[in-house]
Amino acid sequence: MTDLTTGNVARQILRFSVPMLLGNVFQQLYNIVDSIIVGKYLGKEALASVGASFPVIFTIIALIIGIGGGASVVISQYFGAKDKESVKKAVDTLNIFLLITGLVISVTGILFSKWIFTLLQLPDELMDSATTYLNIYLMGMLVFFGFNSITSILRGVGDSKNPLYYLIIATVLNIGLDFLFVLGFNWGIAGAAWATVVSQGVAFVIAVAHINRKHSVIRIDVWGIKFDWKIFVQSLRIGLPTGIQHTFVALGMMALTGIVNTFGTNVIAAFTAASRIDSLASLPAMTLSVALSVFVGQNIGANKYQRINRGLKVALVFASLFSISMTVVALFWSEPLMKIFSNDPEVIAIGKDYLIIVSLFYLLFSTMFVYNGLLRGAGATLIPMFITLFSLWLVRIPLAVFLSRFMGETGIWWSIPIAWFFGVAGAMLYYKFGNWKDKGVVKREVR
């Protein structure tokens, strides 16, 4: 556990962010390794099927992850206020909530998976393989939620190192099982899905054993676990807007995928591969956003608002340096990066175009995420939710539909950075003129 309310701001944010960034890199390797092995050894159709599944998975889990994120903010604020009893109650409440919802989502998602792909106009030749991959993934939803619950709780109390160790274990195991199940056992696309589920389950068991041995405040005590309605309501107040935001973002990604699907297998496969590279490039900004959120939560709990402003400046500098570096990599190495995922020249060319267009605007993306991280840590999630919905549903999706009619799939790529511009502008304006300082769960006079 780490107290982020004292000490050098830049050093603390960097020390907290680096293990988390490495952990997120390893977590992304789950998807990347799956895509590389599937694309290289099973072909572009299998790669497209995996890609078609991820927006659906994100949509199914988005609301719950958002509410869980709200609980993480509550935990960080109580931890900053040195209220260990409330930290324990928040941890128990989050675990019970995620256990119940994990079971419900698994069953519901499996029942409606094929209908969802039909709604998204997925080509017939991809339907069976995409449904198989998605259903197996959904079977592991309980351990997925459990694992993410533990990592969120640990980060909320300032521990970013142990989640990194858990993720390294899970990722190394996932890579080994990918080769074993896909190439050794010839299980095809199902093997890639099972590799992810099994590796996540093993990491979850290890994480539970570790925190129960080392952390008395946040340990999982099955027999003594209690649900606290007051803390759950607090988590809902903070997390529900974020959850709704995540859900509509996920639905937006599904809508975008639906538009991409109309252009056929090559474009779907290219979009899948390029999105994997894109997600890796965006990790530094997303990690700094989470780190700043925890930093802000603890310092609001400790009533230290001047540190919050310093934290914002530090996070913006770090995020800008990272995003400029990622832009250079994507611009100059887009073709070699695409060749890692596919041998098909058309898929490589389409993916290269995507990376060149989108990477030019990584600085916008990183700035947007840093500001949203600050606001989320303060508990001010409602207005950012509306800003995100506006930039996505009133800018990106309509533009993707309109521009794709005249520019083909390239029009879809251009709609992404244009939407980021509106997201950045809205977040900065709310930070400057909004009442975000009044949204914390620990009420004290601002100084």
pLDDT of residue 446: 46
Residue 169 has pLDDT above 80, yes or no: yes
Percentage of residues in the chain having pLDDT higher than 90: 28
Percentage of residues in the chain having pLDDT higher than 70: 96
Q: What is the DSSP string of 278-298?
A: HHHHTHHHHHHHHHHHHHHHH
Backbone angles phi, psi at 282, to 5 degrees: -85, -5
Give yes or no for a contact between 122 and 261, defined as CB atoms under 8 angstroms apart.
yes
Give yes or no for a contact between 141 and 197, defined as CB atoms under 8 angstroms apart.
no
Q: Cα separation of 436 and 430, whole Å?
A: 8
Residue 152 has pLDDT above 80, yes or no: no
Q: Give mean pLDDT, residues 122-130.
A: 88
What average pLDDT does the chain have?
85
Residue 1 has pLDDT above 70, yes or no: no
pTM of the entire predicted model: 0.73
Handedness of CA 426, 155, 361, 122 (dihedral sign): negative
Residue indicated by tokens 């502008």: 425
In Å, how far are 201, 202, 268, 360 from 197, measured between CA atoms?
6, 9, 24, 35
Q: Which residues contact 382 (CB under 8 A, 6 or more apart)?
A: 241
Q: Give mean pLDDT, residues 73-100.
A: 83
Q: Cα separation of 262 and 9, whole Å?
A: 48
Res. 439 pLDDT band, cuts 50 70 90:
low
Q: Which two tokens stand for residue 68?
A: 């869980």
Residue 440 has pLDDT above 80, yes or no: no
Q: What is the DSSP string of 120-131?
A: TT--HHHHHHHH
Q: Which two tokens stand for residue 353?
A: 């175009």
Res. 447 pLDDT band, cuts 50 70 90:
very low
Residue 217 has pLDDT above 80, yes or no: no
Q: Which residues contact 135 (CB under 8 A, 6 or more apart)?
A: 109, 110, 113
- The closest alpha carbon to 70, from 192, 244, 324, 323, belongs to 244
Give yes or no for a contact between 258 and 121, defined as CB atoms under 8 angstroms apart.
yes
In Å, how far are 59, 107, 110, 141, 201 from 103, measured between CA atoms?
16, 7, 11, 7, 15
Helix, strand, coil shares of the chain, percent, nearest 5, are 85, 0, 15
Q: Which two tokens stand for residue 250?
A: 């996920």
For the chain, how many helices (H) and strands (E)? Answer: 17, 0
Residue 155 has pLDDT above 70, yes or no: yes
Residue 395 has pLDDT above 90, yes or no: yes
b/e map of 369-383 (b: 16 or more CB within 10 Å)?
bbbbbbbbbbbbbbb
Give yes or no for a contact between 259 and 412, defined as CB atoms under 8 angstroms apart.
yes
Q: Cα separation of 426 and 388, whole Å?
A: 8
Q: Cα separation of 77 and 304, whole Å?
A: 12
pLDDT of residue 424: 94
